[in-house]
Amino acid sequence: MKILLTGCAGFIGSHLLDRLLSEGHEVVGIDCLDANYAEQIKRTNIAKHLLKPQQNSSFKFIQSNLDVETTYAKLRSQKLTNFDCILHLASTTNLHGYDEAEEDHTSNINITLRLLEFAREEEIPQFIFASSIRVYGRNSKVPWSETLENLQPVNSSDSIKYYCEQLGRVYSANYPIRFLALRLATTYGPRQPPTMALHTFAQNIRDGSTILLNGDGYTRRDYVYIDDVVDGFIAALNYKSSAYEVINLGGNQALELYDLIAQLEVCLNLQADIEQLPRTQQELDITHASTEKATQLLHYHPKVSFEDGVQHFAEWFINTNHTNTPLTS
């Protein structure tokens, strides 16, 4: 297949790129290499595909902003339009303040809309969107099923994900575009960016600094390893039935935040120092998604245990950060 992959240099996108190329797909990857975290980290994520591009005719990288029309003009001018599917993982995430957040949210909507228009105009039959299980918001009916209605996400970023799902519903209803929204649980593993909790906690433990924990640490999260998420995307790529679906991809269990820290302590062979802070209003008691639908439609079965997944992350973290911290067997 010929794939347009957005956010190809990010955490999930780069792992998905590896798999797509290893399976023989032709990929055009777009990433603006924005300032959510260091550009060099993203370049490192895809470095092996950029070192000798003349030997890798299956991959073309374009550094560009998806929220400007010139990006789509560039694709058309280079005759990069006859895609079998768009895999849309690109997303801007605010780390600064309200004004920047508002701009990011507008951009995320505009990018999704521009890509849907590109799919319509170029007759691209499949569109797969990376959403989040956090769109369920505060809902005690766990594990969350895709049949739940009246969703109320607790923050603006999750609301934007839900809004983009609805844009996909409109396009799939009116044009020959199959739209799949994959609602991802908390995804972890090698290459996880330093802005995410697992990576931040690992840095704190390694450096001997205090982990600042919002709340009592007993909130529970649905963690899913990166390889299992990639399996879900690949299965969705081959899905050819209904025109519109939302599908959860999770790890089939909800673990306390203290479980995550304890597992890191084991893998890093170091002890964490923890300071509890007041809980934020946007903190959810639990995130936990049912994967029954994913099993039914995509034959999805998460394979990597939480213990093995954190161990894989820790090994990568130690090697990447050039530390002499010993690994446990």
Write out the chain's pLDDT in tens, 329 residues. Answer: 999 999 999 999 999 999 999 999 999 999 999 766 788 999 999 999 987 655 668 999 999 999 999 999 999 999 999 999 999 999 876 544 444 455 667 899 999 999 999 999 999 999 999 999 999 999 999 999 999 999 999 998 999 999 999 999 999 999 999 999 999 999 999 999 998 999 999 999 999 999 999 888 889 999 999 999 999 999 999 999 999 999 999 999 999 999 999 999 999 999 999 999 998 888 899 999 999 999 999 999 999 999 999 999 999 999 986 443 433 33
Q: Which residues lie closer than 8 Å to 30 by C-beta, 6 or more apart?
A: 4, 5, 6, 7, 8, 61, 62, 63, 64, 66, 71, 90
DSSP state string for 79-129: T----SEEEE-------S-HHHHHHHHHHHHHHHHHHHHHHHHTT--EEEE
**What are 246's two structure tokens?**
């939302």
**Which pLDDT does position 151 carry in this prediction?**
94
Nearest alpha-carbon partner for 159 in 131, 135, 133: 135
Provide the residue type at 251 as one letter: G
**What are 300's two structure tokens?**
């999805």
Distance CA 265, CA 301 (A): 28
Domains of the chain (ranges, CATH numbers): 2-188+223-250+289-302 (3.40.50.720)
CB 128 within 8 A of CB 233: yes
CB 84 within 8 A of CB 3: yes
Distance CA 94, CA 76 (A): 31
Phi, psi for 255 (deg, rounded to 5): -115, 145
Helices in the chain by DSSP H: which ranges?
11-22, 39-45, 47-50, 69-77, 98-121, 156-174, 197-207, 226-237, 257-268, 292-298, 306-321
Q: Which residues lie closer than 8 Å to 42 by C-beta, 6 or more apart?
A: 9, 10, 14, 31, 33
**Which pLDDT does position 96 carry in this prediction?**
42
Element of type H or E holding 28? strand 26-31
DSSP 14: H
Q: How many residues does the chain have?
A: 329
Give the orientation angle of helix 98-121 with respect to helix 156-174, to 10 degrees. 10
Three-state secondary-structure class, residue 240: coil
CB 127 within 8 A of CB 119: yes
**Which pLDDT does position 322 carry in this prediction?**
40
DSSP 137: B
Predicted TM-score of the model (pTM)? 0.94
Angle at 180 between CA 141 and CA 47, to 5 degrees: 110
**Which pLDDT does position 35 carry in this prediction?**
61
Phi, psi for 256 (deg, rounded to 5): -70, 155
Three-state secondary-structure class, residue 163: helix
